[in-house]
Structure 1
Amino acid sequence: MSELLDRLLRAGTASDAEIAVLVKEEGMDAVLAALVEEVLFRASLPNNPDPVDIALDITHYAETRRVVFRSVGGEPVTRVDGDASREICRALGMSLTHLVRRVYGRFDQRRTGDFSDVFLPSRPDDLSRLPGLVDSTSRASGALMTGLTIPRHELGALCSSSGSDKWASFHWYTGHYEREFAPYRDEPVRILEIGIGGFDGDLGGGSLRMWKRYFHRAQVFGIDLFDKSALDEPRQTALVCDQSDPAALAALAQEHGPFDIVIDDGSHENEHVRISFDALFPYVRPGGLYVIEDMQTAYIPRMGGTEGPSAGADTSIGLIKRLVDDLHYHEHSPASVPTATQQDVVGVRAYRNIAFVEKGTNGEVGIPPWMDDAAWAALGALPPTD
């Protein structure tokens, strides 16, 4: 299923021919089942007074399939066997190719005119039911269409509804995340978050749920010291790993990476932050981001921090300071063989208690190291010396 999902996430922006190859190799039923599961995940909670069944008729060349969605007010939309339908109140028609694009395409893709619609295909025996049927069908359709549409949730609201503490709690991170994550939002990214959360027996997983909704084409992985595989579902996987174990982190990244985004929201112990960065940054894709949260612990001695106004070199903020130096290694004197981070860090953006490290090729060369006063004078930048 994971391999099929990986292919589907990329197929949303692929050509008709590439989608046809995917369907041929994976089978129409498997592809449709994966898409329907995502539609059900995204669909909003309906508020229709009366139960409503809506049919979605899918075509792929000569093949056809009917999927029936049942909407009951106050309960999640479900899929039912077509034969078990009480009464089809609306019949939507769409090609499988268009469905792939509606679910896993880009937000800015044109999607008008890609489906047919028949409202109340059969005349009700009792016309006194008609006003209620129209109202309930319209409401149920709205809930289903949220599942058939590329989502554009505001991250702060998603954070609150998902149970994450990244906003309106101890932190106000979501504004920074929206700014930094905007270029990745419509891409088939792989995200790893260190720390799944949960206290007093609670499984946690609020942030995983938030990222899954925010990045509609993402595969989201979380790691924790404890088994939280009960949170597993399509596009969301909980793994057991100790962030203080560099070998375990590397093995996990080799199996599930490389990643476009890594977020450290783990123990916040300064030693663990540095171990995790050193182990996982090599498995961030070029153009990706490594995020470190809760850097206030750099000033808390019991968590490996430094008391006073300047965080020490072994803290998370010390790490960020070093990465700023690494970003400018071309200007170092004397020159030395560049380290991995000197070669690969192209951006360091720090906000209150959170930092984003961008990976790429640090190939910009500044002022040549041989430039001395005589060379500057030749350029007219310095007055001649006696």
Structure 2
Amino acid sequence: MDRLLRAGTAADAEISLLVKEEGVDAVLDALVDEVLYRASVPANPEPVHIALDVTHDAEARRVVFRCVGGERIVRAEGEAPVEICRELGMTLTHLVRRIYGRPDQRRTGDFSDVFLPARPDDLSRLPGLVVATSLASGALMNGLTIPRDDLGALCSSSGSDKWASFHWYTGHYEREFAPYRDEPVRILEIGIGGFDGDLGGGSLRMWKRYFHRGQIFGLDLFDKSALNEPRLTALVCDQSDPAALAALAREHGPFDIVIDDGSHENQHVRISFDALFPFVRPGGLYVIEDMQTAYIPRMGGTEGPSAGPDTSIGLIKRLVDDLHYHEHSPAVAPTVTQRDVVGVRAYRNIAFVEKGTNGEVGIPPWMDDAAWAALGAHTPTE
């Protein structure tokens, strides 16, 4: 799957090599699964079958989709139906790009389209057939298009609580995640949610739709592997166990983004950050949600207007100091966070920590009060 996700922006030769090694059917099946996942529920009043004809070199395949109003589109099994209402055609290379490419990629002449390829025997059916085929086609084409829904809408439709609940996070997420949206990212979210028999997974489904080339991993204390599907994997781990977290990250990482939406116990937040931040790729983000628990004693927080050093907000305060270690401890070997944190952006109850190389040159370490005074004496002022 990693290789297929990256193929969307690769050269034609790389896609051809992937198809040669994996086979036309395996690649096509994976792409069709994604199309069915993205496609919206159609509203056509009568069933419609749409054919997708895919070619690769001398090989050709036909996939038939059954579109019934009010139901998810499915791949028709068995023999092809007698009546095909629409025929779409494209190369397998173009299908890869259409599914896992970027929105700004040029795709000129990448598919053929025949609307109602056969004349109906009963022309009185024609008006209804045109309407039904158009409605079904629109729903299917949503599956053949890179999704651009905003996070607020995806949050509501996926059952996540990151918007319009106790939290208003999606605006911050859209701002911070925009540079990653069209990349083949690996996302790990701590905490899958769910209770009273509900498996949860609303946020994981939201991320899968938002990051159309992303691999999404969720971490929970309980086995929620029933949620597993292409590009979405539920893992079992205790976020208070640093060794287990590191083992999980070695197996499934490194990650471009890690999101802590777990227990919100302040100790667990710090343990998870220390264990997983080393497994965030340079240029990636580590996100901490629900930092209001820094002020709740029963969650390991502190009372009063200033959160203590062992809280999640205390961690963010320390990272701001680490970001400026050149200014206060230039002669000491830097810690992991002093060396690798290049940005700390905090909003209400949520913070984003950016990883990179903290190598900007600061003021010379020998600059003392006398040096500053000398500098100031010869510095022009307005």
Is residue 2:240 matched to residue 1:236? no
Identity %: 87
The Cα shift of 1:379 comes to 4.2
Is residue 2:330 matched to residue 1:337? no
Task: Tell me the residue number matched to 1:213.
Answer: 209
1:67–1:82 CA contact under 8 A, matched in 2: no
CA deviation vs aligned residue, 1:202-221 (integer Å, no higher than 9, x gap): 10000000000000000000
The Cα shift of 1:84 comes to 3.6
Is residue 2:258 matched to residue 1:262? yes
Question: What is the alpha-carbon distance in structure 1 between the residues aligned to residue 34 and residue 309 of structure 2?
Answer: 45
Is residue 2:354 matched to residue 1:358? yes
Task: Tell me the residue number matched to 2:158.
Answer: 162
TM-score by length of 2: 0.97
Question: What is the alpha-carbon distance in structure 1 between the residues aligned to residue 292 and residue 371 of structure 2?
Answer: 45
Question: What is the alpha-carbon distance in structure 1 between the residues aligned to residue 201 and residue 374 of structure 2?
Answer: 62
CA deviation vs aligned residue, 1:76-111 (integer Å, no higher than 9, x gap): 000013624241000011000000000000011122
The Cα shift of 1:322 comes to 0.2
Task: Tell me the residue number matched to 2:272.
Answer: 276
Question: What is the alpha-carbon distance in structure 2 between the residues aligned to residue 269 and residue 367 of structure 1?
Answer: 38
CA deviation vs aligned residue, 1:120-163 (integer Å, no higher than 9, x gap): 11111111111111110011000000000000011001101100
Answer with 240-249 or 371-380: which moved more. 371-380
Task: Tell me the residue number matched to 2:93.
Answer: 97
Task: Tell me the residue number matched to 1:253.
Answer: 249
Question: What is the alpha-carbon distance in structure 1 between the residues aligned to residue 79 and residue 239 of structure 2?
Answer: 50
1:376–1:382 CA contact under 8 A, matched in 2: no
- Assess, with a 3 A threshold, how the Cα gap between structure 1 residues 380 and 187 changes in structure 2: closer, same or farther: same
Query: Which of 71, 75, 90 is the aligned partner of 2:71?
Result: 75
2:86–2:113 CA contact under 8 A, matched in 1: yes
Is residue 2:23 matched to residue 1:9? no
CA deviation vs aligned residue, 1:58-84 (integer Å, no higher than 9, x gap): 000110000001100000000013624
Question: What is the alpha-carbon distance in structure 2 between the residues aligned to residue 334 and residue 75 of structure 1?
Answer: 63
* Residues 114-153 of structure 1 mapped to structure 2, 5 A cutoff: 114-153=110-149
Question: What is the alpha-carbon distance in structure 2 between the residues aligned to residue 297 and residue 372 of structure 1?
Answer: 40
Answer with 365-374 or 17-26: which moved more. 365-374
Answer with 106-115 or 220-229: which moved more. 106-115
SS at match of 1:349: strand
1:53–1:86 CA contact under 8 A, matched in 2: no
1:66–1:82 CA contact under 8 A, matched in 2: no
Is residue 2:33 matched to residue 1:37? yes
Question: What is the alpha-carbon distance in structure 2 between the residues aligned to residue 269 and residue 374 of structure 1?
Answer: 47
- Assess, with a 3 A threshold, how the Cα gap between structure 1 residues 381 and 140 changes in structure 2: closer, same or farther: farther
TM-score by length of 1: 0.96
SS at match of 1:50: coil
2:342–2:356 CA contact under 8 A, matched in 1: yes
2:343–2:355 CA contact under 8 A, matched in 1: yes
CA deviation vs aligned residue, 1:7-40 (integer Å, no higher than 9, x gap): 1100000011110000001100000000000000
Task: Extract unaligned runs of 5+ from structure 2.
Answer: none
- Assess, with a 3 A threshold, how the Cα gap between structure 1 residues 185 and 334 changes in structure 2: closer, same or farther: closer
Question: What is the alpha-carbon distance in structure 2 between the residues aligned to residue 86 and residue 200 of structure 1?
Answer: 46
Task: Tell me the residue number matched to 1:110.
Answer: 106
| RMSD over equivalenced CA pairs, Å | 1.2
* Residues 182-221 of structure 1 mapped to structure 2, 5 A cutoff: 182-221=178-217
**Displaced runs of 4 or more, over 2 A:** 372-383
2:293–2:301 CA contact under 8 A, matched in 1: yes
Task: Tell me the residue number matched to 1:290.
Answer: 286
2:64–2:80 CA contact under 8 A, matched in 1: no
